[in-house]
Structure 1
Amino acid sequence: MSVIQNVIGRVVVLRGGKYSVEVDVVTDDGFGRFASPIEESPLLHIAEARRAVSEVDEIIGPELIGFDAVEQELIDSYLWEIDGTDDLSHIGANTALAVSVAIAKAAASSRDLSLYSYIGGTFTTELPVPMLTFARDENFEYHLIVRDLLEVTDIIDAISKILESSSGLSLEDLSRASEEVGMELGLEVALGITMKKEMDIESVLSLVEDNNIAYIKPIGKPELFLELIAGTHGVFIDGEYLFRTKNILDRRYYNALSIKPINLGTLTDLYNFVNDVKAEKITPILAEAKYEPADETLPHIALGLRCPAMLIDWNSVEKINELNRIAEELGERGRIITFEE
C-alpha cells in the first residue's frame, strides 16, 4: 500500500548558503524526500524557510494524510486548492514542488521502482544529454555539449581537457579548445552559451557562425530569435527569455526551451508544461535553478519526462553521478540521445 501516513517539513541549506524547505513523505511501505531549489530572487531569510516548514507540518501534511501517494494528479490539484491562489503565492511554489516530488518518490518507493520508471513507465530508456555549465565571464555563461556522448563521464573528461588546454576563458579561446579536444577524444564536442546582456543581431549571428556553438540562450527582442532561427542550422536556440518576458511559446521563434521545475509548481504542472512544449515541436531541456540542493532527483525527472537534455552546473556532481548510475542500471536497454536539431 502507498497510503500517506505522515508528511514532515524541515529547513535545509542549498548551494550558495540559501535556505529552503525539505519534505519527507511516509507511506505504509514507502518513503520519499525532496528539498526544493529556489530561483534568482529567493526569500533568503531563514524565517521564510521556517514559515514554509510550518505550512507543511500544520496545514499541508494533515490534509494529505490518508491519500494514496500514487494519485499524483489528484494530490497536486489538491495542493492548488489548499493554496487558494492562481500562482501558489500562499504556500509557495517551492513548498508545493517539495511536497509533490516527495510524494512521487514515496509512491515509487512503495512499488519498488526507480523514480524515472515510475514517472515514465517501462520503456523509459533514453538518457538525457548532460549540458554542463563550466565557465563564466562578463558576457556569457559557457556550457559544454557532447553531441555523440558514449558514456556520461565523457563530458567530464572533455571539460577537464578544455580547461587545461585553453589559453583563456574568452569565447574564441574556448571554442578553439573545444574543437581540438573533440578531435583528440574522437567526440563531437561543442559549446553552448547563455547571453548575460543584449547585443545587436549581426553580432550575435557572427558569434554563432564563427565559433563552435551548438546551443545559445539569447537575450533580446523577438526579432533576434527570428533571425537566429532563420540564420543558423543545427543550432539549438533557447527561448527561455522570450517565454519569460513575452509568454511566447512558438517554434517560429525558437527550437529549444530550458525549463526549471521551480517555475512551474507541482510535478503534474511540470509534466503538462513539458508536453505543451513538445506539442509545439520545441525541445524541452530540464534545467537547474540558481540555488539547488545536493540531490539526485533531477536526472530521474528528466528521464521520466523524456527531456532530451539536462542543463546543470558541472559542480553538481550528485546529479552527474546519478545519471551515470541510471545508465549502469539500464545497461544495454539504455542509450544516450544524440543531441541534434
Structure 2
Amino acid sequence: MVTIKKLFAQELLNAKGYPVIETTVILSNDIIASSSPPSGTSKGTYEAHEIVDSEIKRYNGHGVLKAVENVNKIIAPKLLGVDINSQQKIDELMIELDGTKDKSKLGANAILSVSQAAVKAGANNSSLPLYLYIKKLISSNAPKNYPTPLFVLIAGGKHAEGSIDFQEILLAPSVSKTFEEKIEIGANIYHLLENKLMELGLSTLTSVEGGFSPKVPNNTESLRLMKDVIKESPYKLSLDVSLGIDVASSSFYKDKQYFLKDKTTPYNPKEMTLFYKKLISDFNIIYLEDPFSEDDWSSWQKGFNMLSKDSLIVGDDLTVTNPDRLKLALNSNTINGIIIKPNQIGTVSETIEVVKMARL
C-alpha cells in the first residue's frame, strides 16, 4: 500500500497576479504531485467558502497564508499514512476536520488544494493519465468523447467592467465538426472579430479571461456584432456555429428586477424571459447560462418551460456544483445543463458525486 508520507502547502501567485494556495503531496514511494485550485473572478453566493487573509496591506487583502497554515498544521497531520488510492477517505477526513457546511473553518481553497494534489499523486502512482484515473474514480463505462469547446469572444459583467452587462458572449462550433475543426473555427472567428473591432475603431483590449471588451451600446448590439462577423466569415450561423451567453444575471438583479443597458427601465422576470426568447430567435442562441438570479427560482421554472426547447438552460451560480442545489434545480425542472467547478464545492469526491447526479 502506497501512503501519504509528507504534505505541505505554500502561497504563490496565479496568472492574474493574485495569491493562491498550492499543496504538494509526497508518497511513501517518493512520487510527488502538486496542485493549486482556481479562484473564480465572479462567485455565486452559495459556493464553498474560500479563506483569504483580509490583510489590506498585503496583496490588498487577497493573501492565503491562513489557508496555507490550515493545510500545514491541521490537515497534513491527519492525512499522513493514508492510502493514496482512497480518495474518498482523504476527502471525508478533511470534511470531518472542517465540520462546516460551506468549508468556512479550513477553507475550500485549502481543502481542494490537498484533494487535487492527492488525485494527481494517485494518478502518478497508478501510471495513468489524470483523466483516466478520474474516470476510474467515477467508475464509469461511458465512452471517451471530446467535449465541444465554447469560445469566449466578448466579455462583460464582472470580467470586463464598463463593457456589456452579460458576462460572456460565446461561440459554439457545431457538434458535427471534429475537435480539430472546432478549434480552428474558434481561432479564426476570434481573429476575424479582432479585425472587425479595429475596422470599427473599437477597443481590442481583452478581459481577464481573454474575451474582447469593446464599448458597444448594449448587449443586443454585442450579439449583432458577432452575427455580422460570422456573416463575413466562411462559416454559416446555425449550420457551422451558434452563439451562447453566460448571462451571470445575479450581477444585475436587484429588487426582483433586472437592470440592463438594452432598456431604460428594468426588466421584470416575464419581460426578461421574452427578451431571451427574442435573442434566441434573432441570434441562434443555443446556450444560456444563469439567465436568472441564483435566488429567483420562479423565473427559472417559467423561463425553462418557455426557452429550453431551443436552448440549453445552464446552471452555474444557481447550482454551484452542490448536490443539494442541483437536486433542487432538477426537482423544480429549471435546468438541462450544469457547469462543474471543483472550487465551488471543495473536494474532488464531492465534485464527482455531482457529475454522477447530473448524468442521471
TM-score interval w.r.t. the shorter chain? 0.7 to 0.9
Contact 2:169/2:244 (8 A) holds in 1: yes
Whole-Å Cα distance in 2 between the matches of residues 102 and 83 of structure 1?
A: 18
- Given candidates 108, 116, 120, the residue that maps to 2:131 is 116
Q: Which entry has the higher C-alpha Rg, 1 or 2?
A: 2
- Given candidates 52, 56, 61, the residue that maps to 2:76 is 61
Whole-Å Cα distance in 2 between the matches of residues 160 and 226 of structure 1?
A: 38
Instruction: Name the SS for the 1:87 alignment partner.
Output: coil
Whole-Å Cα distance in 2 between the matches of residues 55 and 231 of structure 1?
A: 45
- Equivalent residue number for residue 266 of structure 1: 347
> Structure 1 stretch 27-36 or stretch 151-160: which is displaced more?
151-160
- Equivalent residue number for residue 217 of structure 2: none
Whole-Å Cα distance in 1 between the matches of residues 89 and 349 of structure 2?
A: 9
Deviation of 1:261 (Å): 1.4
Whole-Å Cα distance in 2 between the matches of residues 225 and 17 of structure 1?
A: 39
Is 2:286 the partner of 1:255?
Answer: no
Deviation of 1:224 (Å): 5.1
- Equivalent residue number for residue 305 of structure 1: none
Q: Which amino acid aligns with 1:193?
A: I
Q: For 1:69-88, list aligned pairs within 5 A.
A: 69-88=84-103
Contact 2:238/2:284 (8 A) holds in 1: no
Contact 1:24/1:34 (8 A) holds in 2: yes
Distance 1:242 1:62, change over 3 A: closer
Distance 1:187 1:211, change over 3 A: closer
Deviation of 1:12 (Å): 1.4
Q: Which amino acid aligns with 2:329?
A: L
Deviation of 1:227 (Å): 3.1
Distance 1:231 1:117, change over 3 A: closer
> Residues 91-132 of structure 1: CA distance to partner in whole angstroms, max 9, x if unpaired?
101111110010000010011111001011486621222212
Is 2:227 the partner of 1:212?
Answer: no
> Residues 117-166 of structure 1: CA distance to partner in whole angstroms, max 9, x if unpaired?
10114866212222122212322221121123421632223322333346
- Given candidates 106, 122, 138, the residue that maps to 2:164 is 138
- Equivalent residue number for residue 208 of structure 2: none
Instruction: Name the SS for the 1:127 alignment partner.
Output: coil
- Equivalent residue number for residue 239 of structure 1: 315
Distance 1:16 1:204, change over 3 A: same
Q: Which runs of 5+ in 1 are unaligned?
A: 280-341
Instruction: Name the SS for the 1:11 alignment partner.
Output: strand
Q: Which amino acid aligns with 1:31?
A: I
- Equivalent residue number for residue 147 of structure 1: 174
> Structure 1 stretch 248-257 or stretch 39-48: which is displaced more?
39-48
Normalised TM-score (structure 2): 0.69
Higher strand share: 1
Deviation of 1:9 (Å): 0.4
Distance 1:192 1:183, change over 3 A: same
Distance 1:175 1:186, change over 3 A: closer
Instruction: Name the SS for the 1:130 alignment partner.
Output: coil
Deviation of 1:234 (Å): 4.0
Contact 1:214/1:234 (8 A) holds in 2: yes
Whole-Å Cα distance in 1 between the matches of residues 115 and 245 of structure 2?
A: 32
Deviation of 1:187 (Å): 6.8
Whole-Å Cα distance in 2 between the matches of residues 186 and 238 of structure 1?
A: 19
Whole-Å Cα distance in 1 between the matches of residues 236 and 337 of structure 2?
A: 29
Is 2:229 the partner of 1:156?
Answer: no
Normalised TM-score (structure 1): 0.73
Instruction: Name the SS for the 1:97 alignment partner.
Output: helix
Contact 1:30/1:109 (8 A) holds in 2: yes
Q: Which runs of 5+ in 2 are unaligned?
A: 44-49, 156-162, 203-213, 215-221, 253-257, 259-266
Deviation of 1:182 (Å): 5.7
Whole-Å Cα distance in 2 between the matches of residues 232 and 61 of structure 1?
A: 46
Compute the RMSD of aligned alpha carbons: 2.9
Whole-Å Cα distance in 1 between the matches of residues 305 and 233 of structure 2?
A: 28
Contact 2:71/2:111 (8 A) holds in 1: no
- Equivalent residue number for residue 9 of structure 1: 9
Identity %: 25
